[in-house]
Amino acid sequence: MDSQRLTLLSRIKDSDIYFSFIKSPTAIVSSVILVIIFFCSFFVEFVAPFNPFDPSSLSLMEAFTPPSWSEKGMAKYILGTDGQGRDMLSTILYGSRISLIVGFSAILFSLLLGVTLGLTAGYFGGKYEMIVMRLTDVQLTVPSILMALLVDGIARGIISRELHDEMAIYVLIFAIGISEWPQFARVSRAATLVEKNKDYVSASTIIGVSNILIMFKHILPNIMRPVLVIGTIGLALAIIAESTLSFLGVGVPPTTPSLGTLIRIGNDFLFSGEWWITFFPAIFLVLLAFSINLLGDWMRDTLNPKLN
């Protein structure tokens, strides 16, 4: 058992991925930042100094407190408070959790949809492939934000207002996911086309392995590299898309604000000098998206040099 673990560790240590990771300072820095952000967001109840969504803990008289290092700042509110007296640091941490949940779920949704369609299209070919690929072409002509707005608008039409607030997060996941899937479909189809002519696929076909098994057991693991690269970069895009939609007021409701909602609320105070209400959520979002992108870039260089 112990030797097994050792071999696993040494296997990781000997791998070229580990080597390139160690040699890349950007990858190390960005992954450290991401680990911290993920940890704080998912254990926010223990990390955040306040629960900003408990109305009875708020004090309106402490609204608009600037960050603690400025003249009128208070030590307990490190990044200051917003217009209702909520601690900025806590709201940002709670908000980033919503942003991350939406981003991850959306990208997972589009990954499942895109890879399934792309893989089957590449494998079976023919009319089916043509239909799927034309569908991605059509989808790609519609900007993803517009697509997401459209989905949200339709959802608002068919879901009653009372249910809408509860459903908002699922609608958002679906809206972003549906606008990102063509990327996955194209990449996985291209990779499948290369793989399906290889000997191991022919061999499996000859010994009578079923199509489904060939696709998902043999081809899928071999096309995962480029898909993961796109997925990582897509995660940053999905988080930004979520923030954009929330900023436009069609995303998650203000009662459970995401980073975009926070930036939108803070936007009202930009002229009046209360810069911290919008600045910190914005800089947090930039940091998050930037780190994911850097990590994605590194993954692309390492896992799939051809894409470079």
Chain positions contacting other proteins, by CB under 8 A: 54-56, 58, 60-61, 63-64, 83-85, 255, 267-274
DSSP element (H, E) containing 12? helix 2-14
Taking the C-alpha atoms of residue 298 and residue 303, their distance in angstroms, rounded to an integer, is: 8
Q: With respect to other proteins, which residue has the nearer C-beta, 81 or 232?
A: 81
Residues 6+ away with beta carbon under 8 Å from 296:
229, 232, 233, 235, 236
Q: With respect to other proteins, which residue has the nearer C-beta, 174 or 247?
A: 247
Answer for the pair 27, 295: CB distance below 8 angstroms, yes or no.
yes
Handedness of CA 242, 257, 75, 41 (dihedral sign): negative
Shortest distance in whole angstroms from residue 270 CB to other proteins = 6
H helices present in the chain, as ranges: 2-14, 16-22, 25-42, 44-47, 88-124, 126-141, 144-158, 161-195, 199-206, 211-213, 220-247, 259-267, 276-303
Q: With respect to other proteins, which residue has the nearer C-beta, 205 or 267?
A: 267
Shortest distance in whole angstroms from residue 166 CB to other proteins = 12
Shortest distance in whole angstroms from residue 169 CB to other proteins = 17
Q: With respect to other proteins, which residue has the nearer C-beta, 71 or 162?
A: 162
Q: With respect to other proteins, which residue has the nearer C-beta, 62 or 301?
A: 62
Shortest distance in whole angstroms from residue 28 CB to other proteins = 39
**How big is the CA angle at 238 (ends 152 and 26), to the nearest 5 degrees?**
165
Give the tokens for residue 306.
């051809």
Shortest distance in whole angstroms from residue 74 CB to other proteins = 15
Q: What is the dihedral of CA 105, 108, 109, 111, to 10 degrees?
A: 160
Q: With respect to other proteins, which residue has the nearer C-beta, 25 or 273?
A: 273
Give the tokens for residue 200.
């191991």
Shortest distance in whole angstroms from residue 172 CB to other proteins = 19
What are the residues facing 29 on neighbouring strands? none
Give the tokens for residue 208.
């009578």
Taking the C-alpha atoms of residue 59 and residue 243, their distance in angstroms, rounded to an integer, is: 28
Which of 304, 288, 276 is closest to 239 using CA atoms?
Answer: 288
Q: With respect to other proteins, which residue has the nearer C-beta, 10 or 70?
A: 70
Shortest distance in whole angstroms from residue 255 CB to other proteins = 7
